[in-house]
Amino acid sequence: MQAGWTGSARPGDRIGPYTVLSELASGGMGRVYVARSPGGRTVAVKTLLTSDGGNIAPDDRRRFAREAALAQRVHGPFTAGIVAADAEAPVPWIATEYIPAPSLRDLVVSRGPLPVEALPWIAAGTAEALVGIHAAGLVHRDVKPSNILLPGDGPRVIDFGISQAADLTRTGTALGTIPFAAPEQARGEPTTPASDVFSLGATFFFLVTGRSPYRGMGEGTAMEQLVRAAEADLDLTGLPAGAAALIRPCLAVEPAARPTPGALLALVEPVLAARPRAHGAAAWLPDDWSDAIERHRRQRTEEADEARRTVGPDAATARTPRPAPPRTRRLPRPAPARRRTGPLLGVALAALLAGGGGVYLLSRPDEPLVVRQDLRLALVEQSEQGECTDKLAPPTFYDKKQNICYRISTRDADRMSVRRLKQVRTQFDTQFAVMVTFEEGDGQRFSALTARAATRQPPQNQIAIVLGDRLISAPLVNSRIDGDEMQISGAFNRTEADSLVKELGG
Protein backbone atom coordinates (compact mmCIF):
# COMPACT_ATOMS: atom_id res chain seq x y z
CA MET A 1 0.00 0.00 0.00
CA GLN A 2 1.17 3.50 -0.80
CA ALA A 3 0.34 7.03 0.34
CA GLY A 4 -2.92 8.13 -1.21
CA TRP A 5 -4.50 4.70 -0.92
CA THR A 6 -8.18 5.08 0.09
CA GLY A 7 -8.90 1.64 1.53
CA SER A 8 -10.34 -0.06 -1.57
CA ALA A 9 -8.73 -3.42 -2.45
CA ARG A 10 -9.19 -6.25 -4.94
CA PRO A 11 -8.69 -10.01 -4.56
CA GLY A 12 -4.97 -10.69 -4.45
CA ASP A 13 -4.05 -7.29 -3.01
CA ARG A 14 -2.27 -7.20 0.32
CA ILE A 15 -3.31 -5.23 3.39
CA GLY A 16 -0.45 -5.50 5.82
CA PRO A 17 0.49 -9.20 5.84
CA TYR A 18 -3.01 -10.31 4.74
CA THR A 19 -3.95 -11.30 1.19
CA VAL A 20 -7.44 -10.14 0.22
CA LEU A 21 -9.74 -12.95 -0.90
CA SER A 22 -12.99 -11.04 -1.39
CA GLU A 23 -14.86 -7.96 -0.26
CA LEU A 24 -17.39 -8.81 2.42
CA ALA A 25 -19.06 -5.45 2.92
CA SER A 26 -18.72 -1.71 2.34
CA GLY A 27 -20.37 1.26 3.97
CA GLY A 28 -20.07 4.64 5.61
CA MET A 29 -17.32 3.62 8.04
CA GLY A 30 -15.10 1.65 5.70
CA ARG A 31 -14.67 -1.63 3.89
CA VAL A 32 -14.50 -5.17 5.21
CA TYR A 33 -12.56 -7.92 3.45
CA VAL A 34 -12.17 -11.64 3.89
CA ALA A 35 -8.43 -12.23 3.83
CA ARG A 36 -5.82 -14.93 4.34
CA SER A 37 -2.95 -14.66 6.79
CA PRO A 38 0.55 -15.89 5.78
CA GLY A 39 -0.09 -19.00 7.88
CA GLY A 40 -3.42 -19.73 6.18
CA ARG A 41 -5.86 -18.33 8.77
CA THR A 42 -9.02 -16.67 7.46
CA VAL A 43 -9.57 -13.21 8.96
CA ALA A 44 -11.78 -10.18 8.42
CA VAL A 45 -9.78 -7.02 7.64
CA LYS A 46 -11.48 -3.65 8.08
CA THR A 47 -10.10 -0.51 6.50
CA LEU A 48 -11.41 2.92 7.41
CA LEU A 49 -12.47 5.25 4.63
CA THR A 50 -10.69 8.56 4.28
CA SER A 51 -12.31 11.86 3.43
CA ASP A 52 -9.46 14.10 2.22
CA GLY A 53 -7.64 12.46 -0.66
CA GLY A 54 -6.45 9.62 1.53
CA ASN A 55 -5.15 11.89 4.32
CA ILE A 56 -5.89 11.28 8.00
CA ALA A 57 -5.34 13.92 10.66
CA PRO A 58 -2.56 13.13 13.17
CA ASP A 59 -5.00 13.40 16.11
CA ASP A 60 -7.35 10.92 14.46
CA ARG A 61 -4.50 8.52 13.82
CA ARG A 62 -3.37 8.74 17.47
CA ARG A 63 -6.92 8.13 18.64
CA PHE A 64 -7.19 5.10 16.39
CA ALA A 65 -3.86 3.74 17.65
CA ARG A 66 -5.00 4.07 21.27
CA GLU A 67 -8.36 2.40 20.69
CA ALA A 68 -6.84 -0.41 18.62
CA ALA A 69 -4.30 -1.08 21.39
CA LEU A 70 -7.09 -1.22 23.99
CA ALA A 71 -9.19 -3.48 21.77
CA GLN A 72 -6.34 -5.98 21.49
CA ARG A 73 -6.56 -6.40 25.26
CA VAL A 74 -10.15 -7.68 24.98
CA HIS A 75 -10.23 -11.46 25.22
CA GLY A 76 -13.16 -13.77 25.69
CA PRO A 77 -15.36 -16.32 23.95
CA PHE A 78 -18.08 -13.82 23.02
CA THR A 79 -16.18 -11.18 21.09
CA ALA A 80 -14.57 -11.24 17.65
CA GLY A 81 -10.94 -11.15 18.71
CA ILE A 82 -8.57 -8.55 17.29
CA VAL A 83 -5.75 -10.35 15.48
CA ALA A 84 -3.64 -7.34 14.45
CA ALA A 85 -3.90 -3.64 13.65
CA ASP A 86 -1.78 -0.94 12.02
CA ALA A 87 -2.47 2.68 12.88
CA GLU A 88 0.52 3.88 10.84
CA ALA A 89 -0.61 2.40 7.53
CA PRO A 90 -1.72 4.91 4.84
CA VAL A 91 -5.24 3.80 5.75
CA PRO A 92 -5.44 2.32 9.27
CA TRP A 93 -6.76 -1.23 9.38
CA ILE A 94 -7.80 -3.86 11.90
CA ALA A 95 -7.79 -7.63 11.34
CA THR A 96 -10.28 -9.63 13.39
CA GLU A 97 -11.38 -13.21 13.73
CA TYR A 98 -13.61 -14.18 10.80
CA ILE A 99 -17.00 -15.44 12.00
CA PRO A 100 -19.22 -16.94 9.26
CA ALA A 101 -22.51 -16.35 11.06
CA PRO A 102 -25.69 -14.28 10.57
CA SER A 103 -26.41 -11.26 12.74
CA LEU A 104 -29.25 -11.07 15.25
CA ARG A 105 -30.89 -8.55 12.94
CA ASP A 106 -30.85 -10.94 10.00
CA LEU A 107 -32.31 -13.76 12.09
CA VAL A 108 -35.18 -11.67 13.45
CA VAL A 109 -35.99 -10.25 10.01
CA SER A 110 -36.02 -13.70 8.39
CA ARG A 111 -37.34 -15.83 11.28
CA GLY A 112 -39.39 -13.51 13.43
CA PRO A 113 -38.95 -12.62 17.11
CA LEU A 114 -37.01 -14.92 19.42
CA PRO A 115 -38.96 -16.97 21.98
CA VAL A 116 -38.44 -15.57 25.47
CA GLU A 117 -37.08 -18.90 26.71
CA ALA A 118 -34.04 -18.55 24.43
CA LEU A 119 -33.17 -14.99 25.47
CA PRO A 120 -31.04 -15.84 28.56
CA TRP A 121 -28.52 -17.79 26.45
CA ILE A 122 -27.92 -14.84 24.11
CA ALA A 123 -28.08 -12.34 26.99
CA ALA A 124 -25.40 -14.19 28.95
CA GLY A 125 -22.92 -14.16 26.07
CA THR A 126 -23.47 -10.55 25.08
CA ALA A 127 -23.33 -9.31 28.69
CA GLU A 128 -20.08 -11.20 29.22
CA ALA A 129 -18.70 -9.61 26.05
CA LEU A 130 -19.48 -6.12 27.39
CA VAL A 131 -17.84 -6.99 30.72
CA GLY A 132 -14.60 -7.68 28.82
CA ILE A 133 -14.89 -4.65 26.54
CA HIS A 134 -15.50 -2.26 29.43
CA ALA A 135 -12.75 -3.83 31.53
CA ALA A 136 -10.30 -2.96 28.74
CA GLY A 137 -11.27 0.70 28.98
CA LEU A 138 -13.49 0.75 25.89
CA VAL A 139 -17.06 1.87 25.36
CA HIS A 140 -18.54 0.15 22.32
CA ARG A 141 -20.95 2.98 21.34
CA ASP A 142 -22.68 0.96 18.62
CA VAL A 143 -24.27 -2.10 20.24
CA LYS A 144 -27.16 -3.18 18.01
CA PRO A 145 -28.56 -6.39 16.46
CA SER A 146 -26.43 -6.10 13.32
CA ASN A 147 -23.25 -5.86 15.43
CA ILE A 148 -23.91 -9.15 17.20
CA LEU A 149 -23.28 -12.29 15.17
CA LEU A 150 -24.71 -15.63 16.25
CA PRO A 151 -22.69 -18.73 15.41
CA GLY A 152 -23.79 -22.05 16.83
CA ASP A 153 -21.64 -21.84 19.95
CA GLY A 154 -22.85 -18.46 21.17
CA PRO A 155 -23.05 -14.76 20.26
CA ARG A 156 -20.11 -12.60 19.20
CA VAL A 157 -20.06 -8.84 19.69
CA ILE A 158 -18.19 -7.23 16.80
CA ASP A 159 -16.83 -3.80 15.81
CA PHE A 160 -15.65 -2.79 19.29
CA GLY A 161 -12.17 -2.31 17.85
CA ILE A 162 -13.20 0.74 15.83
CA SER A 163 -16.13 1.94 17.90
CA GLN A 164 -14.32 4.86 19.51
CA ALA A 165 -12.14 5.48 16.47
CA ALA A 166 -15.30 6.37 14.56
CA ASP A 167 -14.35 10.05 14.64
CA LEU A 168 -12.04 9.22 11.75
CA THR A 169 -15.03 9.32 9.44
CA ARG A 170 -18.07 10.49 11.34
CA THR A 171 -19.28 12.05 14.55
CA GLY A 172 -22.50 11.88 16.47
CA THR A 173 -25.02 9.10 15.96
CA ALA A 174 -25.23 7.19 12.69
CA LEU A 175 -28.67 6.90 11.11
CA GLY A 176 -28.78 3.12 11.32
CA THR A 177 -28.05 3.28 15.05
CA ILE A 178 -30.88 5.57 16.17
CA PRO A 179 -33.33 2.78 17.12
CA PHE A 180 -30.78 1.34 19.58
CA ALA A 181 -28.91 4.41 20.81
CA ALA A 182 -29.20 5.58 24.41
CA PRO A 183 -31.02 8.93 24.84
CA GLU A 184 -27.82 10.67 25.95
CA GLN A 185 -26.05 9.32 22.88
CA ALA A 186 -28.80 10.60 20.57
CA ARG A 187 -28.40 14.04 22.19
CA GLY A 188 -24.69 14.04 21.36
CA GLU A 189 -23.62 13.81 25.02
CA PRO A 190 -20.66 11.71 26.20
CA THR A 191 -21.28 7.98 26.12
CA THR A 192 -20.38 5.65 28.96
CA PRO A 193 -20.63 1.91 29.69
CA ALA A 194 -24.20 2.61 30.79
CA SER A 195 -24.96 3.77 27.22
CA ASP A 196 -23.87 0.34 25.96
CA VAL A 197 -26.22 -1.30 28.49
CA PHE A 198 -29.18 0.72 27.15
CA SER A 199 -28.29 -0.32 23.60
CA LEU A 200 -28.03 -3.94 24.70
CA GLY A 201 -31.47 -3.70 26.33
CA ALA A 202 -32.85 -2.17 23.12
CA THR A 203 -31.30 -5.08 21.21
CA PHE A 204 -32.95 -7.59 23.55
CA PHE A 205 -36.28 -5.76 23.08
CA PHE A 206 -35.87 -6.07 19.31
CA LEU A 207 -35.10 -9.78 19.66
CA VAL A 208 -38.37 -10.60 21.44
CA THR A 209 -40.68 -8.07 19.73
CA GLY A 210 -39.16 -7.38 16.30
CA ARG A 211 -39.03 -3.60 16.79
CA SER A 212 -37.15 -0.81 18.52
CA PRO A 213 -38.25 0.21 22.03
CA TYR A 214 -38.64 3.81 20.84
CA ARG A 215 -42.05 5.01 19.72
CA GLY A 216 -42.60 5.30 16.00
CA MET A 217 -39.19 4.17 14.77
CA GLY A 218 -39.50 3.78 11.01
CA GLU A 219 -42.19 6.47 10.88
CA GLY A 220 -41.59 10.03 9.76
CA THR A 221 -38.25 11.51 8.83
CA ALA A 222 -34.93 10.34 10.21
CA MET A 223 -34.62 13.64 12.07
CA GLU A 224 -37.95 13.06 13.80
CA GLN A 225 -36.82 9.60 14.83
CA LEU A 226 -33.58 11.00 16.23
CA VAL A 227 -35.54 13.52 18.30
CA ARG A 228 -37.74 10.73 19.72
CA ALA A 229 -34.63 8.90 20.84
CA ALA A 230 -33.10 12.05 22.31
CA GLU A 231 -36.30 12.66 24.27
CA ALA A 232 -36.41 9.01 25.47
CA ASP A 233 -39.86 8.53 23.92
CA LEU A 234 -40.17 4.83 24.75
CA ASP A 235 -43.02 2.49 23.86
CA LEU A 236 -42.60 -0.88 25.58
CA THR A 237 -45.98 -2.31 24.70
CA GLY A 238 -45.73 -5.91 23.60
CA LEU A 239 -42.75 -6.71 25.83
CA PRO A 240 -43.28 -10.31 27.00
CA ALA A 241 -43.68 -10.61 30.76
CA GLY A 242 -40.96 -13.24 30.92
CA ALA A 243 -38.39 -10.80 29.49
CA ALA A 244 -39.39 -7.66 31.40
CA ALA A 245 -37.14 -8.22 34.43
CA LEU A 246 -34.10 -8.39 32.15
CA ILE A 247 -34.95 -5.67 29.64
CA ARG A 248 -36.78 -2.90 31.51
CA PRO A 249 -33.88 -1.98 33.85
CA CYS A 250 -31.53 -1.67 30.87
CA LEU A 251 -33.87 0.90 29.29
CA ALA A 252 -33.91 3.23 32.30
CA VAL A 253 -33.74 6.82 31.08
CA GLU A 254 -31.13 7.81 33.67
CA PRO A 255 -27.78 6.09 33.02
CA ALA A 256 -27.10 5.64 36.74
CA ALA A 257 -30.28 3.58 37.10
CA ARG A 258 -29.20 0.96 34.57
CA PRO A 259 -27.57 -2.31 35.70
CA THR A 260 -23.96 -3.07 34.87
CA PRO A 261 -23.16 -5.85 32.37
CA GLY A 262 -21.92 -7.89 35.33
CA ALA A 263 -25.29 -7.52 37.05
CA LEU A 264 -27.06 -8.66 33.88
CA LEU A 265 -24.80 -11.68 33.71
CA ALA A 266 -25.58 -12.54 37.33
CA LEU A 267 -29.30 -12.27 36.57
CA VAL A 268 -29.27 -14.87 33.77
CA GLU A 269 -26.59 -17.21 35.11
CA PRO A 270 -29.08 -19.19 37.27
CA VAL A 271 -31.21 -19.86 34.18
CA LEU A 272 -28.22 -21.36 32.38
CA ALA A 273 -27.12 -23.25 35.48
CA ALA A 274 -30.54 -24.90 35.66
CA ARG A 275 -29.85 -26.49 32.26
CA PRO A 276 -26.27 -27.77 32.61
CA ARG A 277 -26.57 -30.09 29.60
CA ALA A 278 -27.90 -27.38 27.25
CA HIS A 279 -25.03 -26.29 25.03
CA GLY A 280 -25.17 -24.25 21.84
CA ALA A 281 -27.82 -23.01 19.47
CA ALA A 282 -29.49 -26.39 18.98
CA ALA A 283 -30.29 -26.60 22.69
CA TRP A 284 -31.62 -23.06 23.12
CA LEU A 285 -32.96 -21.76 19.81
CA PRO A 286 -35.96 -22.70 17.65
CA ASP A 287 -35.12 -25.21 14.94
CA ASP A 288 -35.51 -22.68 12.12
CA TRP A 289 -33.01 -20.33 13.81
CA SER A 290 -30.50 -23.15 14.27
CA ASP A 291 -30.96 -24.29 10.67
CA ALA A 292 -30.45 -20.72 9.36
CA ILE A 293 -27.24 -20.38 11.37
CA GLU A 294 -25.83 -23.61 9.98
CA ARG A 295 -26.79 -22.75 6.38
CA HIS A 296 -25.12 -19.36 6.72
CA ARG A 297 -21.97 -20.96 8.11
CA ARG A 298 -21.76 -23.41 5.21
CA GLN A 299 -22.40 -20.74 2.59
CA ARG A 300 -19.81 -18.29 3.94
CA THR A 301 -17.24 -21.04 4.46
CA GLU A 302 -17.71 -22.31 0.92
CA GLU A 303 -17.39 -18.76 -0.46
CA ALA A 304 -14.14 -18.23 1.45
CA ASP A 305 -12.78 -21.58 0.26
CA GLU A 306 -13.67 -20.76 -3.34
CA ALA A 307 -11.98 -17.36 -3.03
CA ARG A 308 -8.84 -19.06 -1.70
CA ARG A 309 -8.77 -21.33 -4.73
CA THR A 310 -9.31 -18.39 -7.09
CA VAL A 311 -6.62 -16.16 -5.59
CA GLY A 312 -4.22 -19.00 -4.83
CA PRO A 313 -1.49 -19.01 -2.19
CA ASP A 314 1.10 -17.83 -4.71
CA ALA A 315 -0.95 -15.04 -6.25
CA ALA A 316 0.71 -11.65 -6.60
CA THR A 317 -0.16 -9.52 -3.59
CA ALA A 318 1.92 -6.37 -4.00
CA ARG A 319 -0.36 -4.39 -6.30
CA THR A 320 -1.48 -0.98 -5.16
CA PRO A 321 -5.28 -1.04 -4.98
CA ARG A 322 -7.13 1.31 -7.26
CA PRO A 323 -9.05 4.02 -5.44
CA ALA A 324 -12.81 3.54 -5.41
CA PRO A 325 -14.76 5.92 -7.65
CA PRO A 326 -16.29 8.87 -5.80
CA ARG A 327 -19.80 8.43 -4.47
CA THR A 328 -22.44 11.01 -3.70
CA ARG A 329 -23.83 11.07 -0.18
CA ARG A 330 -27.53 11.75 0.07
CA LEU A 331 -28.66 14.05 2.86
CA PRO A 332 -32.24 13.69 4.09
CA ARG A 333 -34.78 16.08 2.68
CA PRO A 334 -35.93 18.69 5.22
CA ALA A 335 -39.44 18.09 6.51
CA PRO A 336 -41.54 19.78 9.17
CA ALA A 337 -41.60 17.92 12.49
CA ARG A 338 -44.87 16.26 13.45
CA ARG A 339 -44.41 16.94 17.13
CA ARG A 340 -42.86 19.67 19.25
CA THR A 341 -39.11 19.19 19.40
CA GLY A 342 -38.14 22.08 21.63
CA PRO A 343 -34.45 22.86 22.19
CA LEU A 344 -33.45 19.33 21.15
CA LEU A 345 -34.23 20.02 17.50
CA GLY A 346 -30.92 21.76 16.82
CA VAL A 347 -28.94 19.01 18.57
CA ALA A 348 -30.81 16.31 16.69
CA LEU A 349 -30.33 18.01 13.33
CA ALA A 350 -26.60 18.43 13.95
CA ALA A 351 -26.21 14.78 14.92
CA LEU A 352 -28.30 13.68 11.96
CA LEU A 353 -26.24 15.58 9.42
CA ALA A 354 -23.01 14.41 11.03
CA GLY A 355 -23.99 10.75 11.02
CA GLY A 356 -23.35 9.29 7.61
CA GLY A 357 -25.60 6.26 7.75
CA GLY A 358 -23.77 4.63 4.85
CA VAL A 359 -26.39 5.54 2.23
CA TYR A 360 -25.20 6.37 -1.27
CA LEU A 361 -26.93 7.30 -4.50
CA LEU A 362 -26.52 5.05 -7.49
CA SER A 363 -28.44 7.36 -9.79
CA ARG A 364 -29.32 11.00 -10.21
CA PRO A 365 -32.28 11.91 -7.99
CA ASP A 366 -33.96 13.86 -10.78
CA GLU A 367 -34.02 10.88 -13.17
CA PRO A 368 -36.92 8.47 -12.50
CA LEU A 369 -35.93 4.86 -12.95
CA VAL A 370 -38.08 2.63 -15.10
CA VAL A 371 -38.21 -0.84 -13.61
CA ARG A 372 -39.49 -4.15 -14.90
CA GLN A 373 -43.26 -4.43 -15.02
CA ASP A 374 -43.25 -7.50 -12.77
CA LEU A 375 -42.03 -6.02 -9.46
CA ARG A 376 -44.77 -6.98 -7.01
CA LEU A 377 -45.43 -6.80 -3.28
CA ALA A 378 -47.98 -9.09 -1.65
CA LEU A 379 -48.98 -10.20 1.83
CA VAL A 380 -47.92 -13.70 2.80
CA GLU A 381 -50.75 -16.15 3.51
CA GLN A 382 -48.81 -19.29 4.47
CA SER A 383 -45.21 -20.45 4.79
CA GLU A 384 -43.59 -23.85 5.08
CA GLN A 385 -40.03 -24.99 5.71
CA GLY A 386 -38.41 -26.48 2.63
CA GLU A 387 -38.96 -26.18 -1.11
CA CYS A 388 -42.41 -25.51 -2.52
CA THR A 389 -44.61 -28.59 -2.95
CA ASP A 390 -48.28 -29.32 -3.55
CA LYS A 391 -48.97 -28.74 0.15
CA LEU A 392 -49.31 -25.01 -0.54
CA ALA A 393 -51.60 -23.88 -3.33
CA PRO A 394 -50.16 -21.41 -5.85
CA PRO A 395 -48.98 -18.73 -6.13
CA THR A 396 -45.94 -19.88 -4.19
CA PHE A 397 -42.35 -18.64 -4.10
CA TYR A 398 -39.26 -20.31 -2.67
CA ASP A 399 -36.65 -18.48 -0.62
CA LYS A 400 -33.53 -20.54 -1.31
CA LYS A 401 -31.34 -18.82 1.27
CA GLN A 402 -33.83 -19.31 4.08
CA ASN A 403 -35.21 -22.61 2.73
CA ILE A 404 -38.83 -21.45 3.08
CA CYS A 405 -41.76 -21.66 0.69
CA TYR A 406 -44.26 -18.78 0.82
CA ARG A 407 -47.81 -18.65 -0.53
CA ILE A 408 -48.89 -15.08 -1.25
CA SER A 409 -52.33 -13.51 -1.26
CA THR A 410 -54.25 -13.04 -4.50
CA ARG A 411 -56.63 -10.39 -3.11
CA ASP A 412 -56.26 -6.98 -4.73
CA ALA A 413 -56.14 -5.23 -1.36
CA ASP A 414 -53.22 -7.43 -0.29
CA ARG A 415 -50.90 -6.77 -3.23
CA MET A 416 -49.44 -4.06 -5.44
CA SER A 417 -47.43 -3.82 -8.64
CA VAL A 418 -44.71 -1.21 -9.10
CA ARG A 419 -44.16 0.27 -12.54
CA ARG A 420 -41.63 3.01 -11.80
CA LEU A 421 -39.23 3.96 -9.02
CA LYS A 422 -37.74 7.36 -8.28
CA GLN A 423 -34.46 6.01 -6.92
CA VAL A 424 -32.60 2.77 -6.30
CA ARG A 425 -29.55 2.75 -4.06
CA THR A 426 -27.51 0.56 -1.79
CA GLN A 427 -27.39 0.88 1.97
CA PHE A 428 -24.84 -0.79 4.21
CA ASP A 429 -25.16 -1.40 7.98
CA THR A 430 -22.91 -4.41 8.63
CA GLN A 431 -24.59 -6.08 5.64
CA PHE A 432 -25.89 -4.87 2.28
CA ALA A 433 -29.48 -3.90 1.55
CA VAL A 434 -31.15 -2.17 -1.40
CA MET A 435 -33.25 0.94 -0.78
CA VAL A 436 -35.95 1.91 -3.26
CA THR A 437 -37.94 5.15 -3.35
CA PHE A 438 -41.50 4.93 -4.65
CA GLU A 439 -43.38 7.55 -6.59
CA GLU A 440 -46.02 9.30 -4.49
CA GLY A 441 -48.96 7.04 -5.33
CA ASP A 442 -47.01 3.83 -4.85
CA GLY A 443 -45.59 5.17 -1.58
CA GLN A 444 -49.13 5.60 -0.23
CA ARG A 445 -50.11 2.11 -1.39
CA PHE A 446 -46.98 0.67 0.22
CA SER A 447 -47.83 2.35 3.55
CA ALA A 448 -51.37 0.97 3.37
CA LEU A 449 -50.00 -2.51 2.65
CA THR A 450 -47.67 -2.37 5.65
CA ALA A 451 -50.57 -1.22 7.83
CA ARG A 452 -52.55 -4.32 6.79
CA ALA A 453 -49.57 -6.57 7.44
CA ALA A 454 -48.98 -5.12 10.91
CA THR A 455 -52.44 -6.22 12.07
CA ARG A 456 -51.84 -9.88 11.17
CA GLN A 457 -50.17 -12.75 12.99
CA PRO A 458 -46.97 -14.47 11.71
CA PRO A 459 -46.36 -15.45 8.99
CA GLN A 460 -49.17 -13.30 7.58
CA ASN A 461 -47.43 -10.12 8.78
CA GLN A 462 -44.76 -10.62 6.13
CA ILE A 463 -44.69 -8.89 2.75
CA ALA A 464 -43.26 -10.90 -0.13
CA ILE A 465 -41.17 -8.83 -2.54
CA VAL A 466 -41.29 -10.60 -5.90
CA LEU A 467 -39.40 -9.77 -9.09
CA GLY A 468 -40.67 -11.80 -12.00
CA ASP A 469 -40.88 -15.39 -10.81
CA ARG A 470 -38.30 -14.88 -8.05
CA LEU A 471 -38.81 -14.08 -4.38
CA ILE A 472 -36.32 -11.38 -3.34
CA SER A 473 -37.24 -11.06 0.32
CA ALA A 474 -40.14 -11.50 2.74
CA PRO A 475 -39.64 -8.99 5.57
CA LEU A 476 -41.63 -9.01 8.78
CA VAL A 477 -43.81 -5.93 9.39
CA ASN A 478 -44.67 -5.00 12.97
CA SER A 479 -45.96 -1.47 12.40
CA ARG A 480 -47.12 0.76 9.56
CA ILE A 481 -44.25 2.26 7.52
CA ASP A 482 -44.99 5.81 6.45
CA GLY A 483 -43.05 7.49 3.70
CA ASP A 484 -41.97 6.52 0.22
CA GLU A 485 -38.97 4.28 0.94
CA MET A 486 -38.66 0.51 1.25
CA GLN A 487 -35.62 -1.47 2.31
CA ILE A 488 -34.97 -4.81 0.60
CA SER A 489 -32.69 -6.96 2.73
CA GLY A 490 -31.74 -10.59 2.46
CA ALA A 491 -28.19 -11.15 3.71
CA PHE A 492 -26.91 -9.92 0.34
CA ASN A 493 -23.24 -9.76 -0.47
CA ARG A 494 -21.99 -6.87 -2.59
CA THR A 495 -22.35 -8.71 -5.90
CA GLU A 496 -25.93 -9.74 -5.15
CA ALA A 497 -26.91 -6.22 -4.09
CA ASP A 498 -25.34 -4.68 -7.21
CA SER A 499 -27.13 -7.21 -9.41
CA LEU A 500 -30.50 -6.47 -7.82
CA VAL A 501 -29.98 -2.72 -8.21
CA LYS A 502 -29.36 -3.22 -11.94
CA GLU A 503 -32.49 -5.36 -12.28
CA LEU A 504 -34.51 -2.63 -10.63
CA GLY A 505 -33.22 -0.05 -13.07
CA GLY A 506 -30.11 1.30 -11.30
Lowest mean pLDDT among 142-156, 342-356, 365-379, 459-473: 342-356
**Omega before residue 113 within 30° of 0, cis:** no
Q: How many domains, the chain?
A: 2
Is 142 annotated in the active site?
A: yes
Domain boundary among 311, 343, 370: 311
Same domain, 180 and 269: yes
Same domain, 401 and 255: no
Residue predicted with more confidence, 440 or 383? 383
Q: What is the CATH number of the domain that holds 66?
A: 1.10.510.10
Mean of per-residue pLDDT scores for the chain: 79
Same domain, 96 and 235: yes
Q: For residue 181, tell me if it sits in a domain.
A: yes
- Maximum average pLDDT range among 117-126, 274-283, 343-352, 481-490: 117-126
Same domain, 110 and 255: yes
pLDDT in tens, 272-315: 999 989 889 999 999 999 999 999 999 888 888 888 888 865 54
Report yes or no: 130 and 197 within 8 Å, Cβ to Cβ.
Answer: yes
Residue predicted with more confidence, 482 or 198? 198
Q: For residue 332, tell me if it sits in a domain.
A: no
Mean pLDDT calculated for residue range 339-357: 40
Residue 351 has pLDDT above 60, yes or no: no
Same domain, 368 and 300: no
Same domain, 301 and 401: no
Same domain, 380 and 289: no
Rounded to two decimals, the pTM is 0.65
Return the pLDDT at 128: 96
pLDDT level of residue 336 (50, 70, 90 thresholds)? very low
Alpha-carbon distance of 48 to 66, in angstroms, equals: 15
Same domain, 303 and 362: no
pLDDT level of residue 490 (50, 70, 90 thresholds)? confident
Q: For residue 137, tell me if it sits in a domain.
A: yes
Return the pLDDT at 427: 76
Q: For residue 24, tell me if it sits in a domain.
A: yes
pLDDT in tens, 230-260: 999 999 999 999 999 999 999 999 999 999 9
Alpha-carbon distance of 487 to 215, in angstroms, equals: 20
Same domain, 225 and 364: no
Domain boundary among 311, 345, 377: 311
Q: 34: part of which helix (H) or strand (E)? A: strand 30-36
Please name the amino acid found at residue 327. R
Lowest mean pLDDT among 33-42, 50-59, 443-452, 470-479: 50-59
Residue 401 has pLDDT above 80, yes or no: no
Alpha-carbon distance of 63 to 74, in angstroms, equals: 17
Same domain, 443 and 307: no
Residue 491 has pLDDT above 50, yes or no: yes
pLDDT level of residue 7 (50, 70, 90 thresholds)? low
Q: For residue 352, tell me if it sits in a domain.
A: no
CB-based burial of residue 413 (10 Å sphere; 0-12 exposed, 13-18 middle, 19+ buried)? exposed
| % the chain with pLDDT above 70 | 79
Among candidates 264, 242, 262, which has minimal Cα distance to 251?
A: 264
Q: For residue 482, tell me if it sits in a domain.
A: yes
Alpha-carbon distance of 465 to 375, in angstroms, equals: 8
Mean pLDDT calculated for residue range 475-490: 82
pLDDT level of residue 201 (50, 70, 90 thresholds)? very high
Residue 358 has pLDDT above 60, yes or no: no
Mean pLDDT calculated for residue range 210-230: 86
| % the chain with pLDDT above 90 | 36
Same domain, 295 and 364: no
Q: For residue 454, tell me if it sits in a domain.
A: yes
Give me the long-range contacts of 134-140 (CB less than 8 A, separation at least 24).
Answer: 134/193, 134/196, 134/261, 136/70, 136/71, 136/73, 136/74, 137/70, 137/73, 138/67, 138/70, 138/71, 138/74, 138/163, 138/164, 139/163, 139/164, 139/191, 139/192, 139/193, 139/195, 139/196, 140/196, 140/199
Residue predicted with more confidence, 159 or 289? 289
Report yes or no: 493 and 33 within 8 Å, Cβ to Cβ.
Answer: no
Residue 391 has pLDDT above 70, yes or no: yes
CB-based burial of residue 220 (10 Å sphere; 0-12 exposed, 13-18 middle, 19+ buried)? middle
pLDDT in tens, 62-75: 777 877 888 888 88
Catalytic residue among 60, 86, 106, 142: 142
Return the pLDDT at 416: 92
Mean pLDDT calculated for residue range 91-118: 91
Return the pLDDT at 430: 54
Alpha-carbon distance of 190 to 194, in angstroms, equals: 11
- Written as one string, the DSSP assignment of 121-162 is HHHHHHHHHHHHHHHTT---S--SGGGEE--TT--EE--GGG
Q: How far is CA 44 from the centre of its chain?
A: 17
To the nearest 10 degrees (0 to 180), the angle between helices 193-209 and 119-135 is 160
pLDDT level of residue 441 (50, 70, 90 thresholds)? confident
Q: For residue 295, tell me if it sits in a domain.
A: yes
Count CA atoms closer than 13 A to 354's CA, side-chain side: 18
Which residues neighbour 495 within 8 Å (Cβ) at sequence distance 6 or greater?
none
pLDDT level of residue 335 (50, 70, 90 thresholds)? very low
Return the pLDDT at 155: 97
Same domain, 149 and 210: yes
Return the pLDDT at 173: 40
DSSP 401: T
Q: By residue range, what is the domain housing residue 280? A: 14-311
Question: 258 has which bridge partners?
Answer: none
Q: What is the CATH number of the domain that holds 494?
A: 3.30.1360.200
Return the pLDDT at 161: 56
Mean pLDDT calculated for residue range 261-271: 95
Return the pLDDT at 153: 94
Return the pLDDT at 423: 86
Report yes or no: 381 and 409 within 8 Å, Cβ to Cβ.
Answer: yes
Residue predicted with more confidence, 50 or 479? 479
Return the pLDDT at 399: 85
